[in-house]
Structure 1
Amino acid sequence: MSDLAWLGRTKLLIGDEGIQKLQNAHVLVVGLGGVGSFAAEFIARSGVGTMTIVDGDVVDPSNRNRQLPALSTTHGQPKADLMEERLLAINPELKLTSIRQFLSPEAVEEILTNNKFDYVMDCIDSITPKLMLLTTAYQKNLRIVSSMGAGGKVDPTKIRTADLFDTRECYLASLVRKRLRKLGIRSGIKAVYSTEKMMEESLMLTDGSNYKKSAYGTISYMPAAFGGVCASVVLRDLLGFPVEMEKKLKALASREKKQQELEKKRKAAK
């Protein structure tokens, strides 16, 4: 029998049924950078029973300002390996598959075909692999949440969730929308984005490796905030919130009302 005592505080919020739903779920997290590393940890800490994580990159010194596995002692080490160790330290009973590779069309097809995922989390910040994952997951009718750009922004209160085609003030989202429309996709992908105007002056050009030709400056908390919102979308959908939560709260309010009425009757009878 699994020891779920560590999920006691979560159980108070979502109940036994909610815990069981998360225990039975399989979540895929692709990209373990600033957004994905925090998103993966939040998913693991929620009690989700099965996870697959994917990333082919290693820790670079420039990652330390925002990425969970990036420490002064982990430079050059694979992010997937570091996150695997961390997630299993959080929950040793987690059924975890760690894939240390960059996505190719063949890899995306293989991963999504050979596994049954309850949710796909796209935390990739490069256009080509991001599009491969989104289009393949969409075609397979998988539930998806996709993180848009956290770079060039500083205000976490402006993070929003919407259909990808309803997003604004995000350069990455505009590029993704344009490419997806050409492929005949015009709705049905949840996105996490920010309505804050991007600080264009923070842009820098890169060497083009890993499909990235440019990058925007980042502040420590913004990718983590994006990761938190992405994780919340997944968990709320898996749990059936807000519908089931509203029903639960109404039922609780009804029970409390009945108890109050009984208490009034008892006092009146004395």
Structure 2
Amino acid sequence: MTEENQFSRTELLIGKDNLDRLSRARVAVFGVGGVGGYVVEALARSGVGTLDLIDSDKVASSNLNRQIIATYNTIGQYKVDAARERVLSINPQAVVNAYRTFYLPETAAQFDFASYDYVVDAIDTVTGKLMLAEQAQKSGTPIISSMGAGNKMDASAFEVADIYETSVCPLAKVMRRELKKRGIRKLKVVYSKETPLTPRTEDRICGQAAEKACGQDGEQTEQVCTAGNAANGSAGNVQEAAVGRRRQTPGSMAFVPAVAGLIIAGEVVRDLIGM
């Protein structure tokens, strides 16, 4: 190093050659919410040269408690646009491709996985997560997938493992079963063995809505609660839907998805430079 720059401290650890590798790397991050936003942040600060950001959501006030891109100034913006602006404010030399797209099998063809050096799955639908794993396998592109981070309080409980070595996490259980059906024999994931907590206010809110709308009928109560939660559009709903229980808006803290995202970013960087 002849002079200090924004990546001087990074170069002290990994060297110039590896820093150059990161600057030439292209990483796609699917889902730019609580977990994905921190992945993007850390990759940008690590010097990854090109980031493809895929998410159809806009920043909402309910995101302020945990999403790094969420501020009062960004409420109403598309998350990928807010994230792109933030990345460029960190590293103006970066290339950021923003896609206001909800990733599903119907939109999968828009993305050429062979052009990526790494893929990050930080979305919250089982269908989408499975499709990402399938596309990555077909193209031979490395991928890491985030399992459930909602309704959890212990940030120290996250681990990196192959999907078939996971336990406790309801989402991981569903993914193991469905990946096995599709002949996918491995998938690197970040998951937590912490048993998800039960949201404190969900039953009260749903119960009040159901009582007002249709009395105490169990079947109709279920319908009201499901519809209400679908309207809320919250990350983590997949955990409830995937295991056959009623969908609930999950609780979330600032530090849990942040830690999951930073762990994922660390794995991506180390894999890209071969450490």
- When the two structures are superposed, what TM-score results if normalisation uses the length of structure 1? 0.82
- The AA in structure 1 aligned to 2:14 is I
Q: Verify the 8 A CA contact 1:203 1:217 in the aligned structure 2.
A: no
- SS at structure 1 position matched to 2:93: coil
In the TM superposition, what is the alpha-carbon distance from 1:83 to its structure 2 partner?
0.5
- SS at structure 2 position matched to 1:199: coil
Answer yes or no: is 1:217 the counterpart of 2:216. no
The aligned residue for residue 240 of structure 1 is 274
Q: How do 1:6-45 residues align onto structure 2 when only pairs under 5 Å count?
A: 6-45=6-45
How many residue pairs were aligned? Answer: 237
Alignment partner for residue 207 of structure 1, among 220, 230, 242? 230
The aligned residue for residue 128 of structure 2 is 129
In the TM superposition, what is the alpha-carbon distance from 1:202 to its structure 2 partner?
5.3
- SS at structure 2 position matched to 1:45: helix
The aligned residue for residue 193 of structure 2 is 195
**Cα distance change of structure 1 residues 137 and 200 upon mapping to structure 2, 3 Å threshold:** same
- SS at structure 1 position matched to 2:64: helix
Q: How do 1:95-114 residues align onto structure 2 when only pairs under 5 Å count?
A: 95-113=95-113
The aligned residue for residue 84 of structure 1 is 84
Q: Verify the 8 A CA contact 1:22 1:48 in the aligned structure 2.
A: yes
Structure showing greater radius of gyration is 1
5+ long unaligned stretches in structure 2 = 203-225, 239-246
Distance 2:90 2:80 in 1: 15
Distance 1:27 1:64 in 2: 25
- SS at structure 2 position matched to 1:77: coil
Query: Any idea what the Cα deviations from partners look like across 1:220-269, whole Å, max 9, x if unmatched?
Result: 1100100000001101111111xxxxxxxxxxxxxxxxxxxxxxxxxxxx
Distance 2:8 2:257 in 1: 28
What CA RMSD, in Å, does the superposition of the two structures yield over aligned residues? 2.0
**Cα distance change of structure 1 residues 148 and 215 upon mapping to structure 2, 3 Å threshold:** farther
Q: Verify the 8 A CA contact 1:29 1:52 in the aligned structure 2.
A: yes
Q: Verify the 8 A CA contact 1:169 1:196 in the aligned structure 2.
A: yes
- The AA in structure 1 aligned to 2:78 is P
Distance 2:230 2:95 in 1: 37
Q: Verify the 8 A CA contact 2:104 2:127 in the aligned structure 1.
A: no
- The AA in structure 1 aligned to 2:153 is V
Distance 1:162 1:155 in 2: 18
Distance 2:109 2:180 in 1: 21
